[in-house]
Chains A and B, each alone.
Chain A
Amino acid sequence: MKRMKILAYPYSVWMAIFIVVPILLVLLYSFTEGDIRNLAELRFSTRSYERVLEPIYLKVIVNSFILATLSTLFCLLLGYPVAMIVARSNPKVRGMLLMFLIVPMWMNFLLRTYAWMSILSPNGFLNRLMDLLGLPRLEIMPGKTAVLLGMIYNFLPFMILPIYTVLSKIDKQYLEAANDLGANNARTFFKIILPLSIPGVVSGITMVFLPAVSTFVISGLLGGGKTPLIGDLIEHQFMWEGNWHFGSSLSIILMVMILISMAIMSRIDRNGQQEKNGQSKV
């Protein structure tokens, strides 16, 4: 089976060209000063990195990590049950259910976010509904709650799909066995379903957390620009200020921080796997 790994070689070459080379370019920009369009005349400098250390940027990075973690957590809590329900539903409607979970994301992002603004804004549909019901108005937008909601909205399907794919297989065989052995539902879930679904959960978290950290636009439109995220600042550096050097340093720092947190994640994942293997032997 070892021979199978050659299947990854073409993609490795592709990644070297289209991912690694651009990243090296970004790395180069981050450590230099001067006209970005004239690579020969760039001068070495660590000034951009010194700037990253200024408290205001660290604060933004921390804010982004907190929001991304929260939205990942909510996506997991909301999405896991959905994935389970879909996995257990009648095979005839399963495909349909899944498609309908992702189709909203095919509508343009800007239009969807504008629609959320119309719903959540101070005088928006939600608050008019509250008025009709005689309930007090909600002050969600602009604010962090609205940003969080927008992020959960945009990333939820990316949590549901991978979890569903692993759950779709587990079900029957194991569950019946567990039931036969007299395990109750909660026990079956925590001892069998959850450990077996970890690979799906890991993929889901990766696909939600990584883009969530660097997301932009959502924080501007739903948060009223008062809590800029690192994605906003990076975009600002590249576009508005035209400072690719500083923008590059910010994204390199961001990348390093994310890769570190992913490494920690995968360690936990591996431990979980070992634990699971250990248990299955017992």
Chain B
Amino acid sequence: MKKTAVRIYMGLIFLFLYAPIIVLIVFSFNKTKSRGQWAGFTLEWYAELFKDRLITEALYYTVIIAILATVISTIVGTISAIGIHYMRGFSKNMLLNVNNIPVLNPDIVTGVALMTLFLSAGLRLGFVTMLISHVLFCIPYVILAVLPKLRQLNKHTAEAAMDLGATPSYALRKVILPEIKPGIVSGALMAFTMSIDDFVISFFTTGNEVSNLSILIYSMAKRGVKPTINALSTLMFVTVVILLLIINKKSEKGEELLL
């Protein structure tokens, strides 16, 4: 009885999360560009995908930036979260509040403010400035994901380890990190999610050489987003799912996967 209820609930949640994804995939096979009608099945958008030089280039930068931003922000975010965790009082509150600012500020404000900052520092807008900006808005999510795990940590374990002669870095690696791993992984996941889907901040902090998928897609809005984008999203989605299934198969022997 309880098991069925759980299954139904999870089913509904997944239906909610995937309903638009299904619609998006269906439209990638629609003959017409308009979302207002089903005009028959076609694969032409998939064929066109590989001919469009803007799309391949944008996809490349989107993925590279997302991976780099995730790796950097996860490392920096985790280390900083540990630091913040061991702080007390005013400075801790201050850091946490400042850390929240990129999360709460409208993207447009972050975007134009960063653009102004980069330009007044004499930087050339491009790959590096865009990457910095992505790292900037990803770190707060990593910190917010890791902190709860740190609060759960038994205060005395690390101290005990150090009393027994472990160096702080050893205690960090062998005692703290394994405990907070789920927080780190979910932080990384959220960072990746934020980065891969960012439009406004990217638009303002990149230059004339680098563009990402979001910029490309939003700029299509006036003339109608082409189903090639739906086709691309479908392929990305399928790739991710297949990768997940492979990883899962492989790690089944090794029991626990990432989380």
Q: Which A residues have a C-beta under 8 Å from some C-beta of B?
A: 1-12, 14-15, 18-23, 25-26, 78, 81-82, 85, 91-92, 94-96, 98-119, 125, 153, 156-158, 161-162, 164-166, 168-170, 196, 199-200, 202-203, 206-207, 210-211, 213-214, 216, 230-231, 234-235, 238-239, 244, 247-248, 251, 254-255, 258-259, 262, 266
Contacts and interface: CB of A to CB of B under 8 A. Distances in A.
B217 A110 contact: yes
A181 to B, nearest CB: 21
Interface of B: 6, 9-10, 13-14, 16-21, 23-24, 27, 35, 76-77, 79-80, 82-87, 93, 95, 97-110, 112-114, 116-117, 132, 136, 139, 141, 144-145, 147-149, 151-152, 155, 158-159, 162, 168, 172, 179, 182-183, 186, 189-190, 192-193, 196-197, 199, 213-214, 217-218, 221, 225, 229-230, 233, 236-237, 240-241, 244, 248, 251-252, 255-259
A239 B115 CA distance: 14
B134 to A, nearest CB: 11
A11 B96 CA distance: 11
A19 B80 contact: no
B122 to A, nearest CB: 14
Given A26-B109, A107-B21, A118-B35, 17 more contacts: A10-B76, A11-B139, A99-B189, A105-B197, A110-B225, A111-B233, A118-B23, A161-B145, A169-B149, A169-B182, A199-B151, A216-B108, A244-B112, A255-B105, A258-B104, A259-B97, A262-B100
B225 A234 contact: no
A22 B114 contact: yes
Contacts of A262: 97, 100
Contact of B86 (A2, A19, A164): A2
A165 B144 contact: no
Nearest to B86: A4
Given A22-B114, A96-B244, A101 B17 contact: yes
Contact of B80 (A7, A25, A111, A169): A7
Q: Which of A10, A106, A196, A254 has the most chain B CB atoms inside 10 A of its CB?
A: A106
A12 B108 CA distance: 23
Given A199-B147, A211-B103, A102 B87 contact: no
Contacts of A230: 106
A84 to B, nearest CB: 9
A14 B248 CA distance: 37
B259 A98 contact: yes
A210 B248 contact: no
Contacts of B98: 15, 19-20
Given A95-B248, A118-B35, A108 B86 contact: no
Given A95-B248, A111-B230, A106 B82 contact: no
A85 B95 CA distance: 33
25 contacts: A11-B79, A18-B117, A22-B114, A91-B256, A92-B252, A95-B256, A98-B186, A101-B17, A104-B17, A110-B199, A113-B20, A116-B20, A119-B20, A119-B23, A158-B190, A164-B182, A164-B186, A165-B149, A169-B149, A207-B103, A207-B190, A211-B103, A211-B104, A238-B109, A251-B109
A200 B9 contact: no
A201 to B, nearest CB: 8
Contacts of B230: 111
Contacts of A26: 109, 113
B193 A102 contact: yes
B18 to A, nearest CB: 6
Contacts of A119: 19-20, 23
B83 A7 contact: yes
B168 to A, nearest CB: 6
B106 A216 contact: yes
A161 B189 contact: yes
Contacts of B182: 164-165, 168-169
A11 B92 CA distance: 13
